[in-house]
């Protein structure tokens, strides 16, 4: 793609130089754009991503968000110079603002984002990038993507919220192994560990991610939002509290759903005999 074509593709989109956004067939492709730094997360990425997530939430053209990286990396994690050393030596209030903004988009916002999110891991994924990866609802990786928690090699721990994120998705043995050794692993291993949903050859990565996004778009977006929000809340609840919460959340989802999906599904299953739940979704426009 030429520079002019690339500029036209991203014209009128949120973001800037550190984050590029394009919308194609209701999929918002959000690209961390510091390829010369393996998309290491700096203040530019942090503040642009906050703005991007705000804008895309209200953009009806975007039904699903895919977050990926330019060049050979998803993200190499936090930029040691621009995110740590320079802010540490500067105004403490500005440092706090940066850290709040980073937490806001990397996990507080992504985890409960009202639209489905997919991490498309096309290459290097290290350290702080795990927060982004795990903050997304689903994840797809290239077989040859390289993952690692290399903080131990720098004489530091995986801080921010990285260790918490990893502990939520990996077994204790796997989490501690990679935290304590700093060893790297590929996309297929990430899939086997449950860190990503599946891993594919690099040549198939974008199309397989697109197909997954399309599958999500077939679902009722209001119920999809309620389902993922409920999941995140009940993980920290007791069984009794979860049962009470889920009953209320179910009622709320039905009340707020403008499509009245439960009624359509029931009618198509019981009356029209046109819907079999285990074999696909009800016809949303039927």
User: Has residue 284 been placed in a domain?
Assistant: no
Going by pLDDT thresholds of 50, 70 and 90, the confidence category of residue 3 is very low
Domain shared by 172 and 200, yes or no: yes
Is 140 part of a structural domain of the chain? Answer: yes
Instruction: State the chain's mean pLDDT as an integer.
Output: 89
Examine the domain organization and report whether 69 and 84 are in the same domain: yes
**Whether the predicted pLDDT of 244 surpasses 70:** yes
In a domain, 285, yes or no: no
Domain end call among 174, 191, 217: 217
154 plus 273 within the same structural domain = no
Q: 206 is in which domain, residue-wise? A: 3-217
Q: What's the total number of domains in the chain?
A: 2
Dump the DSSP string for the chain.
Answer: --HHHHHHHHTT-S--SSEEEEEETTEEEEEE--GGGTT-B-HHHHHHHHHHHHHHHT-TT-SEEEEEESTTEEE--B-IIIIIIHHHTS-HHHHHHHHHHHHIIIIIIHHT-SS-EEEEE-SEEETTHHHHHHHSSEEEEETT-EEE-GGGGGT---TTTHHHHHHHHS-HHHHHHHHHH--EEEHHHHHHHTSSSEEE-GGGHHHHHHHHHHHHHTS-HHHHHHHHHHHHHHTTS-HHHHHHHHHHHHHHHHHH-TT-HHHHHHIIIIIS----GGGS---TT-
Predicted confidence at residue 99, as pLDDT, reads 81
Are 153 and 272 found together in one domain?
A: no
pTM of the entire structure?
Answer: 0.90
Domain endpoint, select from 191, 217, 243? 217
Residue range 31-85, pLDDT digits in tens: 999 999 999 999 899 999 999 999 999 999 999 999 999 999 999 988 877 766 6
Instruction: For residues 201 and 270, state if they share a domain.
Output: no
pLDDT in tens, 157-179: 988 789 999 999 999 999 999 99
Q: Is the pLDDT of residue 280 over 90?
A: no
192-236 confidence digits (pLDDT tens): 999 999 999 999 999 999 999 999 999 999 999 999 999 999 999
Instruction: Mark whether 169 and 274 lie in a shared domain.
Output: no
Choose one of 202, 217, 232: the last residue of a domain: 217
């Amino acid at each position: 793609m030429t520079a002019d074509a690339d500029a036209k593709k991203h014209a009128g989109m949120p973001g800037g130089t550190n984050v590029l956004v394009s919308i194609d067939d209701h999929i918002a492709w959000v690209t961390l754009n510091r390829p010369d730094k393996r998309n290491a997360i700096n203040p530019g990425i942090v503040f642009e991503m906050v703005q991007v997530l705000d804008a895309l939430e209200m953009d009806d053209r975007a039904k699903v968000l895919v977050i990926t990286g330019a060049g050979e990396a998803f993200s190499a994690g936090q930029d040691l110079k621009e995110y740590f050393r320079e802010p540490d030596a500067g105004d403490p209030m500005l440092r706090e603002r940066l850290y709040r903004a980073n937490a806001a988009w990397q996990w507080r916002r992504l985890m409960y984002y009202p639209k489905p999110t997919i991490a498309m891991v096309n290459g290097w994924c290290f350290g702080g990038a795990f927060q982004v990866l795990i903050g997304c609802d689903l994840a797809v990786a290239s077989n040859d993507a390289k993952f690692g928690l290399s903080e131990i090699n720098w004489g530091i721990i995986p801080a921010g919220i990285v260790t918490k994120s990893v502990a939520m998705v990996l077994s204790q043995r796997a989490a501690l192994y990679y935290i304590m050794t700093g060893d790297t692993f590929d996309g297929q291993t990430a899939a086997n560990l449950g860190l990503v949903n599946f891993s594919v050859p690099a040549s198939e990565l974008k199309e397989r991610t697109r197909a997954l996004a399309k599958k999500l778009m077939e679902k009722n977006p209001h119920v999809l939002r309620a389902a993922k929000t409920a999941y995140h809340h009940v993980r920290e609840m007791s069984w009794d509290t979860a049962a009470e919460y889920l009953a209320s959340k179910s009622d709320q989802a039905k009340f707020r759903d403008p499509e009245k999906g439960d009624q359509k599904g029931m009618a198509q299953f019981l009356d029209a005999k046109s819907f079999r739940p285990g074999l696909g979704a009800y016809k949303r426009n039927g």
